[in-house]
Amino acid sequence: MTDLKHLLDQPPRERSPAPKPAFTAAVMQRVRALPAAAAEPAGASAPAAPAAPVWPWWLIAVSAALALATLRPGDLELSLGDLDVGPGLAGLAGFGGELIVAATVAGLALLAATVPWRSVRGRRG
Amino acid sequence: MTGATAWAGSAEQDCRDVGSVLAGDAEGFAVLVDRHQGRIVNHLARLVGRDDAEDLAQDTFVRAYQALPRYDPRYPFRGWLLVIATRLAANHAARRRETLLPELPEDPGRRREDPALIVAEADSFAALVLRLDRALATLGDDARALYELRFRQELTVSELAVHFQCSENALKVRIHRLRATLATRLGLRLDEES
């Protein structure tokens, strides 16, 4: 026989009813409506690392290849020899202007590559 | 008890499911809602009444989802949910300023004075449960919530101490007094047992 003292320490527990799909759906609808920041990942207290810049290697390679392929020595009347540089650099004059142009194009491409395009476009998870 | 082992099994499953939600599987939270909604609704129904229990249970799960990164997996997820639910119930009661337990069948004071009724009910389990519920209804909101969490939901003292941010000894004293008060109101004499 159950006595009251026993009942005091072990009150009857109601049987958990079967889960209601409608209840779960309502909760999940509210969860989805929360701002994205609401469910931070576990390490969310630490500031997020900045997005790594996307390097358009293909752009750099294509630019350099085009510059090298289309220019011939003498196409541009420019060489280090034309510049009034010191005797040390004068030895490089024979390479011609095409290398200078190629290097400039590659440099510009590198500069463009440092722009964090992903951040500019906006992060989309 | 089989219930305890079942809870232990579901506690491990809870940990895995919480981990996957935190890893980015937000839809996986539905599994946790399915698993615990019955218990949370029942618990809230005892604290605020059946009418408001489902709404508060929804709030409980949404709050839990928002606070999930702060969940400490050393303690059962079930207890964590129950404590969130209990706090929401307390806030709800404070706002509504209503008695927490739904209406009682009869005035407990008058009924207890009637010896014939007491004798008639003596062997009935349902009557004993009713007497317990009546005694609980005379407690304050906090005391009743503590009773429900400790005795009906069987949260451990250490678990409750963490959730309520007090020492285990302080909590044991509160539980002891609560039990003594209830026993007095039920007309019981508790011996030296703790």
Nearest chain B residue to A12, by CA: B152
Lowest mean pLDDT among A76-85, B7-16, B36-45: A76-85
Work out the average pLDDT over B95-118: 53
Mean pLDDT of chain A: 66
Q: If you average pLDDT over each of A105-109, B45-49, B63-67, B92-96, which comes out highest? A: B63-67
DSSP secondary structure of B101-170: SPPPSS-HHHHHH-HHHHHHHTT-HHHHHHHHHHHHHTS-HHHHHHHIIIIIS---HHHHHHHHTS-HHH
CA–CA gap between residue B73 and residue B16 (Å, rounded): 10
Say if A52 falls within a structural domain: no
- Model pLDDT, residue A42: 42
Torsion of CA A31, A36, A41, A47, to 10 degrees: -150
Nearest chain B residue to A17, by CA: B38
Work out the average pLDDT over A1-26: 79
Same-domain check for residues A30 and A61 = no
Domain of A63 in residue numbering reads as 57-121
Q: For residue B34, which residues of chain A lie inside 8 Å, CB to CB? A: 19, 24
Query: Quick check: B184 pLDDT over 70?
Result: yes
Say if A43 falls within a structural domain: no
Query: Quick check: A1 pLDDT over 70?
Result: no
Query: Quick check: B13 pLDDT over 70?
Result: yes
Same-domain check for residues A63 and A100 = yes
CA–CA gap between residue A27 and residue A36 (Å, rounded): 16
Q: For residue A12, which residues of chain B lie inside 8 Å, CB to CB? A: 129
Same-domain check for residues A66 and A29 = no
- Model pLDDT, residue B94: 80
Optimal mutation site among A2, A3, A4, A6, interface B, most CBs of chain B within 10 A: A4
Q: Nearest CA to B38 among B68, B96, B78, B84?
A: B78
Confidence band for B114, pLDDT divided at 50, 70 and 90:
low
Confidence band for B194, pLDDT divided at 50, 70 and 90:
very low
CA–CA gap between residue B143 and residue B102 (Å, rounded): 16
Inter-residue contact B55 to B89 (CB < 8 Å): no
Same-domain check for residues A111 and A75 = yes
Tokens of B111: 């009924």
Same-domain check for residues A95 and A62 = yes
- Model pLDDT, residue B118: 53
Lowest mean pLDDT among B4-8, B107-111, B175-179: B107-111
> Nearest Cβ partner of B38 from A12, A16, A39?
A16
- Model pLDDT, residue A25: 93
Confidence band for A43, pLDDT divided at 50, 70 and 90:
very low
Same-domain check for residues A18 and A61 = no
Same-domain check for residues A19 and A70 = no
Mean pLDDT of chain B: 80
Q: What are residue B97's phi and psi, to 5 degrees? A: 50, 45
**CB atoms closer than 10 angstroms to residue B33:** 26
Query: Quick check: A105 pLDDT over 70?
Result: yes
Q: Which domains does chain B have, with CATH numbers?
A: 2-100+140-185 (1.10.1740.10)
Same-domain check for residues A72 and A108 = yes
> Nearest Cβ partner of B58 from A30, A34, A38?
A30
Confidence band for B64, pLDDT divided at 50, 70 and 90:
very high
Phi-psi region of B14 (alpha: psi -120 to 50; beta: other; left: phi over 0): alpha
Torsion of CA B28, B29, B31, B36, to 10 degrees: 170
CA–CA gap between residue B143 and residue A42 (Å, rounded): 34
- Model pLDDT, residue A16: 73
Query: Quick check: B8 pLDDT over 80?
Result: no
Query: Quick check: B104 pLDDT over 50?
Result: no
Query: Quick check: A26 pLDDT over 70?
Result: yes
Residues with Cβ within 8 Å of A98's Cβ and at least 6 positions away in sequence, in order, are A67, A68, A71, A72, A73, A75, A76
Please give the tally of structural domains in chain A: 2
Same-domain check for residues A81 and A112 = yes
Confidence band for B173, pLDDT divided at 50, 70 and 90:
very high
**CB atoms closer than 10 angstroms to residue A32:** 10
Say if A45 falls within a structural domain: no
What is the enclosing helix (H) or strand (E) of B91? Answer: helix B77-96
Say if A48 falls within a structural domain: no
